[in-house]
Amino acid sequence: MAALQVLFVCTGNICRSPSAEAVLRQRLETAGLDAQIHVDSAGTHAYHTGDSPSELALRSGVKRGYDLTALRARQVTPEDFETFDVISAMDQGHLEILRQLCPPDYLQRIQLFMEHAPQPLQGQDVPDPYYGGPEDYERTLDLIEEGMGGLIKHLRSRL
Q: Please identify which of the residues 40, 80, 91, 128 carries the catalytic annotation.
A: 128
For the chain, 159 residues long, give each residue's pLDDT as a single digit of tens.
Answer: 568 999 999 999 999 999 999 999 999 999 999 999 999 999 999 999 999 999 999 999 999 999 999 999 999 999 999 999 999 999 999 999 999 999 999 999 999 999 999 999 999 999 999 999 999 999 999 999 999 999 999 999 999
**For residue 145, what are the CA distances in angstroms to 44, 61, 101, 106?**
22, 11, 28, 27
Q: Please identify which of the residues 10, 25, 40, 109 carries the catalytic annotation.
A: 10
16 in catalytic set: yes
Asked if residues 22 and 72 have their Cβ atoms less than 8 Å apart, the reply is no
Handedness of CA 94, 158, 143, 136 (dihedral sign): negative
Contacts of residue 130, defined as CB under 8 A and 6 or more positions apart, other chains included, come to 11, 12, 14, 15, 54
102 in catalytic set: no
Give residue 21's pLDDT: 98
Full 3-state SS string of 13-59: CCCHHHHHHHHHHHHHHHHCCCCCEEEEEEECCCCCCCCCCCHHHHH
Q: Which helix (H) or strand (E) holds 155?
A: helix 134-158
Rg over CA atoms, the chain: 14
Give residue 14's pLDDT: 98
128 in catalytic set: yes
CA atoms of 148 and 113, how far apart (whole Å): 8
